[in-house]
Structure 1
C-alpha cells in the first residue's frame, strides 16, 4: 500500500466504492445479520481489544494525557460489552433504505415516488473515543454505505483491534471487508487527502474537538456534516416551577459535564424569585459559576463572567450565568452566543414556551427537559454518528436516516413529453 497519503486514500476510496455497491444491494435481513455477527466478533475479541487498549493507555499516560481524556480512551470488559451491544442494537433498527418518503401520480398517469437510498462512501474523522470505530461502522453498514474511518493517534491500537473484529464478523456474514476500512496510518496528511477526495468520497463527518472540526470545515472539498460547539443554554422563565428548574439545571450542567449536550450558560429571568437559590445549588454541586453583575449581586462569591465566557464550551464543571429581562432578552442572548446545538426553557407559561420552541434556531430545542437529552439513543434513534447543527441534509442527532439521501423513481406506461 502506498505511503503517499493521496494515493493511499484514493486506493481506499476505490475499494470502498466497489463495496458500497454491494452493501447497497443487501436486504434488510442480511445487513442486520452481518451486524449481529460483528457484535459477536467484538465479544469474542474482547481480550485482544483490551490488550490493545492497554498499549494506548500506557502511551497516553506517558505523554501526560489528562484524566478526562484517559477516561474517554479507557476500555474495560463492561465497555467492550457496551460497544458490542450498541452494534447489536443498530442491527435491530428499522432499515431506512427503500423507504418511500412520498408518492404522487401525475395527470398523464406517470407515477412518481421519492425513496431513501444510501449516500455511498462516507469518511469519518474522529478523536479519542474508540467506541466510535464500531458505532460508525455499524451505522454506515446498516444504512447501506461503505465507510473509511480515520481515528485519532491516541487510540490507534484500540481502533485497529475493534476494526479487525468488526471486519471478521462482517466477512463471516458475507459482507466485503472493504465496506469498513480503517486508514492504516497516523500521518496527518491522510486527513487532508480525505478532505480533498471530491468525487471519491461523498460525505465527511468529523467527530472531535473544535480544532479538528474547524480544519475539516476549512479544508474540505467534500460535503461535511458537522457541528463546532455545544454552547447550550437553559433559560429559566419567571413562570418556572422552582423544584423543576433546579432539577433540570443541575442535571443539564452536572450529570456529565464533558458531553456536547451539557448546559454551558444559564439564563434566569429577572422576575423569577429563586435565582440566588438556583445559583447557590450549582455552586454546592461543585460547579464553578461565572456570573454577570446581576448574578454576582445575588451570590457575591461567584466569579466574574468575562466577555469570552458567553462564547465558551467548557466541557467541565463550569457555567456562566446571566440575569436577563424576560424571554426577549433570552432569545437575543441565545441568538448572539449560541451554537445552534441544544437550548431549553423551563416555564409553566405555555405561550412563552411555544414561542421559545418556535424562535430558537437550534437543532434541538426543549421545554421543561434537560439539555442532556441531546442524544440519538434518547431520541429512540439507536446509536448516533453525532449531532449536526447545520441547516442542510440532517440536523440534530444523526442516525440511520441521516446517512441516507433520496432519489426519484418514475413508473410510466409509455408517456412522452411533447
Structure 2
C-alpha cells in the first residue's frame, strides 16, 4: 500500500530529478516596475502588470471605498445571496467595454475556461484547439465530452483539414489564445474566423494577454480584428494581468450569460468577488479609457526594449506584443542567465521544457507602462553583460 508520505516524497523526488521542481521567488515589496526580490532592489520584468495597475493609487482608493461601503466579502455564492449590485455593475461596464451583449465574471481566468467550455460542449460536438493554447484551455477541454482535436499553431491549412475531416451535426468550436503567453505572438483571428465560418464553427478566444494591451483602449484582440459585435465569436479572459486585480470573464450574447449562470460549475459553486476587487476593477476599466497615454507608454516601452535587444544580437522569437522572450536554447543556460540578471538588479525568470519546447528555453520578459527609460536601460545593460558571458551574443 502506498502511504501519503511516500507518494508525496516520490513525486517531489521525480520533479527534482527531472529539473522541474519549482521554488517561487518571493517579492518583498509591491508589484511595480521596480520591486525587491531576495534582498535586492530590482527592475521587474517578470510580472503581467502591463498597465502598472497592481499598485495604482486610483485602484487602491476605489478598493478602499468599496470595502468601507460594502464590507470585505460577498458572503455567498452568486446564485444564492452573493450577487451584490456592484457585481452586476462591473459586468455591465465590462460588456460595454468589450462591445458585447453581456459579460459574466468568474473567480479566475483559469476557472472561466473550465466553466464556459464545460457549459457549451456536449457529446457529439467538435472542438479544435491550437496546439499552443494555455493550460487552462487544455484542462477545460479535458472535462468536456466533445470530440477534441488539435491544429498546428496558427496553421490555417491544418485547421481547415481538421474541420473538414471531422464533420458533425453538433456544435463546432475553434479555440485559440488571443496572444500566446510564451512567444508573444498574436492569433490571426481574421483568418481563423474565416475558416471557422466556412465550416459552421464558432470561434472562442482566450484573451488573457490581449485584454488591456491590444485594440482601442485595450479592448482586446477580438476588438483589434473587429469582431467584437459578432455573435459567433466568444471572448473570455482574465482580470488579473493588465487589469492588475484578479478574476476572469466571459463576454458574448445575453443568452450566453444566462446559460453560464445556470450551468457553469465554477460560477455556481464559488463565492462572489469581494467588494475591494470589484471596486478596483471598475476603477481599472474607467482609467484605461480616461487615460490613453497609459497604453501609449506601454507600447513605446515595448518597441524600445525589443529594438535594443535585437540590436544587441538577441533572438526575441518574432514577438509582436509586450511579451518579449529572449532565447537561450537549453534550460540550463536560461536558468543561469536568470540568476546572473538578478545579481545585476534585474528580475526575469527562466523558462524551459516542458513549458516551452526543448532547445527553445528562454527568459520571458514583460515590459509595462510603468517602466521608465532608465529601468529599461539598466535591464538592457544587464542583458548585454549576461549575453556575452554566456556566448549568446557576440562579445
Q: Please give the TM-score of this superposition, normalised by the length of structure 1.
A: 0.26
Q: Please give the TM-score of this superposition, normalised by the length of structure 2.
A: 0.27
Question: Which structure has more RCO (C-alpha within 8 Å, separation ≥ 6)?
Answer: 2
